[in-house]
Copies of this chain bind each other. A is one copy, B any other.
Amino acid sequence: MYTIDELRGMVKSELEKQEYVGEPRSLYEPIIYMLADGGKRLRPLLTLLAYNLYRDDVEKALKPAIGIEIFHNYTLLHDDVMDDASLRRGRPTVHKKWNSNVAILSGDAAAITAYKYIEHCEDRYLRRGIDGFNQVALDVCRGQQYDMEFETRDDVTEEEYLRMIYLKTSVLIAGSLRHGALIAGASEEDCEALFNFGGLLGQAFQLQDDYLDVYGNVEVFGKNIGGDITTNKKTYLLVKAFELADEPTRRELTGWLGRRDADPAEKIEAITRVYSRLGVDLLTRREIDAFLRRGHVVLDELRVKQEFKDIFKEIIRELIGREK
């Protein structure tokens, strides 16, 4: 079985081939820009790892794997326009560097390119592969829709929030694993188990993201600290804070959320103080651990070699320890 570093190297060189680039090059420049900066390559790695659980010739899963990475970057491209985000992984977002039209259209081209790559599999897996991917892709849109609708609500429950991030983030992580297993010929059962594991991993991953936006290190994290706070973005921390706040604290939170013209540093400091006072930071870390533990349980039930499970667990450790 390949190591994570070996697989990451394969993903890197496959992307560097830029075989997806066509004419006019200007249509693809923003896609190259998005894909060039690295990122964690979490999703293609998961596809390759899942494939590698069943087969050794992982090079055959490379194109579908980077198809999923291209799809992920397409969703980021459009999300950044919708959120009017200015930084992504420490660099200007596409719609800031170019403009919104470029981000919309190159995003559209990236989505179709993703489909082209994902279908690289044996004919007998094609329909299930495309069906699964369609479902995942639609769930990502549904999650983004809920996310946008939550912006104007202050009564989002923890359950609603967890459901939203499941759709927006976790299903793609789940789908990355399932797709790798599927095209390697895994049983329906194993495909579903890996999908479930990926869903739990994704939840932990997104809560970690929420946590790091407040408690991360800006240079490592690659985004402005407190970006979610200044934009009033619903996060697990904010949802939990509203749930736990007494009346004066709730008024304090609502007051800050209502002040769109507030000094960002001041607002971040004040809301972070509320979070820490309510213990929301510790609760979030505890929830992350709970998702990871549930993930381990699903993983232990999977009937693959212990050695392979160990590699999966290695990735989880990398995720827990991540600062970006």
Interface residues of A (CB under 8 A from B): 22-24, 26-27, 78, 81-82, 100-101, 104-105, 108-109, 111-113, 115-116, 119, 123, 126-127, 130-131, 134, 137-138, 141-142, 144-146, 148-149
Contact = CB atoms under 8 A, between A and B. Distances in A.
A138 B114 CA distance: 11
Contact of A27 (B24, B81, B112, B142): B142
B119 A138 contact: no
- 10 closest A-B pairs by beta carbon, nearest first, are A109-B141, A27-B145, A82-B101, A112-B137, A116-B134, A112-B138, A108-B141, A115-B134, A24-B145, A126-B126
A105 B141 contact: yes
A12 B144 CA distance: 30
Given A24-B145, A78-B104, A105-B145, 19 more contacts: A22-B138, A26-B149, A27-B145, A78-B108, A81-B101, A82-B101, A100-B100, A104-B104, A105-B141, A105-B148, A108-B111, A109-B142, A112-B137, A116-B134, A116-B138, A119-B130, A119-B134, A123-B126, A126-B127
A142 B24 contact: yes
A148 B103 CA distance: 13
Contacts of A112: 134, 137-138, 141
Contact of A113 (B119, B138, B146): B138
Contacts of A26: 145, 149
A119 B109 contact: no
B127 A123 contact: yes
A118 to B, nearest CB: 10
16 contacts: A24-B142, A24-B146, A24-B149, A78-B105, A100-B100, A101-B148, A104-B104, A109-B141, A111-B111, A112-B137, A115-B130, A115-B134, A116-B138, A119-B130, A126-B127, A126-B130
A106 to B, nearest CB: 8
Nearest to A119: B130
B82 A104 contact: yes
Contacts of A113: 138
Contacts of A134: 112, 115-116, 119
Contact of A142 (B23, B111, B148, B149): B23
Nearest to A101: B82
A181 to B, nearest CB: 20
Contacts of A108: 78, 111, 141
A171 to B, nearest CB: 13
A74 to B, nearest CB: 9
A105 to B, nearest CB: 6
B105 A22 contact: no
A146 B142 CA distance: 31
